[in-house]
Amino acid sequence: MPEISLLPGWAMAPETMQPLRAALLERLPGYQVNCHALPSLQLSSMEPDLAALAETLPPGVLVGWSLGGMLALQLQRRYPERFSAVVTIASNACFVARPDWQAAMPSETFKQFYADMRSDPAKTLKRFALLVTQGSAQRRELGKVLKWDQADPQQRLHGLALLGVLDNRASLARGTAPAMHCLAGKDALVPAATAEALSQLIGPANAPARVAVHPDASHALPLEQPLWLAGQIADFLETLDV
């Protein structure tokens, strides 16, 4: 039976993916769908950390939110025989802007957020929750159901540092595996311009790839629009032999 593994975003508990899991189980009754936690990941040990993460996930399709989506692409590139397709949700090729990738968070904004996370993690997490739900008509309700992971502040800093340096542009441009990228038009963390930038990046790719945008959703896309996401993912997977 095909399996779908759901990976949460930075600092998020796997339970944040439960609304999407329920919607996928309804839309794709022939699939097994499970939520997985992101382990502690560090730049200095990224290769063994990713190898260990791959071992905990069943073969099949990876669906990742934000950092989880960036890691899903990294895993698929390393273990193509294990992971047949990837869906990213509110995820960027580079989370932080580069001179040749401006559709991302400004570098100075990210550096300040990292410094704030190091000096006052509790206060910074509260601000992060507001950014995740910013742009949503359901902002207050979504803020109440966001759940943090069990990582300590140092582990979260390691994950944040990794988020700041990951760059999936080369693998996306090669298009060696089926991939879909679901974005939100009112995302405060991944700019709306990301959709066009990703479309141009994967345009010449050989593998099936697509970009879908919900015009009225926030970064909290898996919590805010699980039925829309499940429909997009199901339509994508039904075109593939996975």
What are the per-10-residue average pLDDT scores of the chain (242 residues)? 93 97 96 95 89 96 98 96 96 97 97 97 95 95 93 94 96 88 98 94 78 97 98 94 63
Based on the residue annotation, tell me whether 187 is a catalytic residue of this protein.
yes
Rg from Cα positions in the chain: 16
Task: Give me the pLDDT at residue 241, please.
Answer: 67
Q: What is the pLDDT of residue 174?
A: 87
Chain centre distance of CA 96: 14
CB 222 within 8 Å of CB 89: yes
* Residue in 49, 149, 171, 187 annotated catalytic: 187
What CATH architecture does domain 3-237 belong to? 3-Layer(aba) Sandwich (3.40)
Active site residue 66: yes
* Annotated catalytic residue, options 36, 158, 214, 219: 219
Distance of alpha carbon 91 from alpha carbon 149, whole angstroms: 19
Contact 181, 213 (CB under 8 A): no
**Residue type at 16 in one-letter notation:** T
> What residues have CB less than 8 Å from 57, skipping those under 6 apart?
5, 36, 75, 82, 83
Give residue 206's pLDDT. 64
Known active-site residue 219: yes
| pLDDT of 126 | 94
Count the neighbouring beta carbons within 10 Å of the beta carbon of residue 220. Answer: 31
Which backbone phi and psi does 26 adopt, to 5 degrees?
-75, -40
Strand 83-89 relative to strand 60-65, pairing: parallel
CB 173 within 8 A of CB 204: yes
Rounded to two decimals, the pTM is 0.96
pLDDT for 45: 87
Catalytic residue among 66, 84, 171, 218: 66
